[in-house]
Structures are given as structure tokens and as C-alpha cells.
């Protein structure tokens, strides 16, 4: 398989925004300007390429950044020494190719290299994002709480110890 995980570059912006738009039911809206804001906050901005096409991305930020996100704030009030997965998206055409696993392998290395002890992520549970819930379970994430979003959907607040 020709899967390449690398640092996100400016030239990837349009494709990353499109991937996010395709998954917006499980993420929040993001245009190029919002992506720019998020990448400034993140310590890890990755894309996964398959046959030189971006098929997935991951954005993760450390504790202590000034991020206007209720889920990040929820974790910040409870955790120390963590990396927060703001979003991970894999294109429908690339599911089952190990894209998310490859992105998370890099995430785990980043956590270890920076001294982060935990990785935090929220996953839609009502309505459920079953593929993501199952993936995070396989990655040994555990639920430490639930949170209702202003939209009315519920998210499972999950944690994995590195």
C-alpha cells in the first residue's frame, strides 16, 4: 500500500477543507481561514496521502492553548499533560486502508516526544459515529464523560493513556 503520512502544508488546505466538509456531520464547519487559525494552535497537523492524493488528516493541539472550543475546555479543566485531537477525518474512499491508524501512530509518537501523558478526543455518540467509536475502542480509548453540545447532539469524551 502506498500510504504516506506527512506534515500538512499550505497546498493541502483546499483538500483538507473539502474532506472536512464531507464529514461535517461529525466535525464542525471549517473553511480555509478557520483551518489557518486551527493550525496555528496545533502542535500536530498531518495529512495522509494515498497515491499522492490527500485522503485523511489529523489536527491535534497541546494543553494550554487559547482555543474557543467547549470540548477542549472540558478536557482542559480535568487533565494535564495531554494532546487533544480536534479532528481526524478519513475520506470514504480510503476507509479500511489503515489511514486513521497511521495518523494515530504519528500522534502517539508526538505525545511521547512532547511528554504528553494522555490523548483526549470526543466522538459523537448521539447520533453515533459508529466507525469512530469502534476505531477509538480498538485504540484503547475509554470514556471519561459525556457532553451535550449546543446543537443537541451528545459526544463521548474519551481518553487514552500514552
Report how far residue 79's alpha carbon sits from residue 153's, in angstroms, rounded to the nearest whole number: 23
Burial of 67 (0-12, 13-18, 19+ CB in 10 A): middle
Comparing C-alpha atoms, which of 135, 59, 112, 118 is closest to residue 83? 118
Residue 5 β-bridge partners: 48
Q: Tell me the residue range of the domain where 62 lies.
A: 3-161
CATH code for the domain of 42? 3.40.630.30
Angle CA 73–78–84, to nearest 5 = 55
Comparing C-alpha atoms, which of 121, 128, 125 is closest to residue 142? 121
Instruction: Please tell me the pTM assigned to this model.
Output: 0.96
Name the DSSP class of 25.
Answer: T
- Tell me which residues of the chain have a pLDDT lower than 70: 1
pLDDT at 29: 96
The domain total for the chain is: 1
In DSSP notation, 37-54 reads HHHHH-SEEEEEEETTEE
pLDDT at 1: 58
pLDDT at 2: 85
Residues 28-63 pLDDT 10s: 999 999 999 999 999 999 999 999 999 999 999 999
Comparing C-alpha atoms, which of 109, 1, 110 is closest to residue 49? 1
Amino acid at each position: 500500500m502506498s500510504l504516506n503520512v506527512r506534515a500538512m502544508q499550505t497546498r493541502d488546505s483546499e483538500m483538507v477543507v473539502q474532506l472536512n466538509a464531507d464529514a461535517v456531520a461529525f466535525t464542525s464547519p471549517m473553511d480555509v481561514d478557520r483551518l489557518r487559525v486551527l493550525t496555528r494552535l496545533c502542535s500536530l497537523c498531518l495529512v495522509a496521502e494515498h497515491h499522492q492524493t490527500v485522503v485523511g488528516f489529523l489536527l491535534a493541539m497541546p494543553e494550554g492553548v487559547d482555543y474557543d472550543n467547549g470540548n477542549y475546555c472540558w478536557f482542559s479543566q480535568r487533565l494535564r499533560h495531554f494532546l487533544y485531537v480536534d479532528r481526524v477525518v478519513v475520506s470514504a474512499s480510503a476507509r479500511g486502508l489503515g489511514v486513521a491508524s497511521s495518523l494515530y501512530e504519528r500522534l502517539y509518537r508526538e505525545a511521547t516526544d512532547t511528554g504528553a501523558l494522555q490523548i483526549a478526543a470526543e466522538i459523537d455518540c448521539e447520533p453515533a459515529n459508529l466507525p469512530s467509536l469502534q476505531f477509538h475502542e480498538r485504540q484503547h480509548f475509554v470514556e471519561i464523560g459525556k457532553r451535550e453540545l449546543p446543537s443537541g447532539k451528545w459526544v463521548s469524551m474519551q481518553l487514552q493513556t500514552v
